[in-house]
A and B are shown apart, each in its own frame.
Chain A
Amino acid sequence: MKLKEKLLKICFKLKTMKFKVILFSSIIATTFASCSMQKANTRDNAFKYFYEEKPTAILIMPPINNTTNVDAKEYFFTVLHSPLANAGYYILPPLITMEVLQSEGAYDSEIFLEQNLSNFGEIFQADVVLFPIIHKWNKIGALGTIHIDIEFIFKDVQTGDVVFSRYGEFTYNANKSDQSSILATLATNVAAATLTDYVPVARKCVNLLITDLPLGKYHKENTVDGKYRVRLGDRIKASL
């Protein structure tokens, strides 16, 4: 009888503990849930500048290339124009702006990253300047995996304030669809070494980096997108 009572007591204690654990877990889960509820943000809350100042024109600076891949600058510069125009902004004509920047000795964007940008407003009539910074372009091994780190910094020309920024860490596997034979893959890589076109890869990076960017005046959802939920943080990781 005593043994049975003891067992019952132990069972009761265990049940109570289990209940407490479940209760505690629920509290934690609720806390996290409410935290993420608080974090759930809309574009007009997260990027107030765009809804208050309504910028129209964006100047895209030549990318700052901190890598040893000399082509990375062109990969990114040539794919920036279309996604930003598709987001509803007037994008300063890239060929002309490049020519003007070069003639003014302003081709190296890093010089202007921390400078007063009001001249850009006067010369180009831009509201916002985009500084793309390529931090990493590392090809790992012979299997064609590439690690790309790229950051976008959008600055208001008048105040110099950062109005939108995102840092992306991307991994691209050139042979994702063909892993049947390492030898075949290596052979393919040797053949493709000079032919690989990374323009589509750069395009994918850009599309992720500008996700959540408020829409400009030429986009038909320009007046309603403020209530869209912000989907990505200011630092993202993705496999392409």
Chain B
Amino acid sequence: MYYWGKYDDSFYSQQKNLDDKSTKKLLAAYKDIISNAEKGVRGVPPPGVYADYGFLLIKTGKESRGQLMLEKEMNLYPESAIFIQQILKMMEDQTEKEAGK
């Protein structure tokens, strides 16, 4: 139904190792899934991929690109909107808190 590329293995590796190398590998896996989404029957990235990709981008310092990905998740999967908005708010608050220190 969806193109998953190397998602399972990359996600396992990231969860197991929690290091930069495995995080980069997972970011590359997300990018690949998004670029090749048309290979799947639905022709769009699977649920959660834009969101988790965006979340990781923000965590690695790429805020604006990360936010764009989270917005894409909300547009593609409207049932995610309330949850994603809460996450965006939470991250904004965290950034403000850190800037205020």
Residues of B1-30 whose CB lies within 8 A of A: 1-2, 4, 7-9, 11-12, 15-16
Within 8 Å by CB of A218, from B4, B42, B73, B83, lies B42
Once the chains are docked, how many angstroms separate the CA of A71 from the CA of B12? 10
The answer, yes or no, to whether A123 is at the interface (CB within 8 Å) is: yes
Contact mask for chain A residues 95-117; partner B; CB cutoff 8 A; 1 contact, 0 none: 11001100000000000000000
Closest to B40 in A: A86
How far is it, in angstroms, between the C-alpha of A24 and the C-alpha of B11 when the chains are bound? 58
Contact of B55 among A88, A93, A220 (CB under 8 A): A93
Q: How many residues of A contact B (CB 8 A)?
A: 31
- Which residues in A have their C-beta under 8 angstroms from that of B56? 95
Interface residues of A in 183-240 (CB under 8 A from B): 199, 203, 218-220
By the criterion of a CB under 8 Å from any partner CB, how many residues of chain B are at the interface? 28
Contact B52 A75 (CB under 8 A): no
Whether A56 sits at the interface, judged by CB under 8 Å, is yes
B47 contacts which of A85, A123, A199 (Cβ < 8 Å)? Answer: A85
A125 to B41, CA, bound (A): 26
Tell me if B52 and A95 are in contact (CB < 8 A): yes
Cβ–Cβ contact B48 & A78, under 8 A: no
Bound together, the chains give a CA A79 to CA B6 distance in angstroms of: 11
Q: A74-B15, A81-B7, A85-B1 are in contact. List 6 more A-B contacts (CB 8 A).
A: A57-B80, A78-B11, A85-B2, A88-B1, A91-B46, A92-B83
Which residues from chain A sit less than 8 Å from chain B, CB to CB? 56-57, 71, 74-75, 77-79, 81-82, 85-86, 88-96, 99-100, 123-125, 199, 203, 218-220
What are 29 A-B residue pairs whose CB atoms fall within 8 Å in the complex? A56-B79, A71-B16, A74-B15, A78-B11, A81-B11, A82-B2, A82-B4, A85-B46, A85-B47, A85-B48, A86-B2, A88-B1, A89-B47, A90-B47, A90-B48, A90-B80, A91-B46, A91-B47, A93-B47, A93-B48, A93-B73, A94-B48, A95-B56, A96-B55, A99-B55, A123-B83, A124-B83, A199-B8, A199-B12
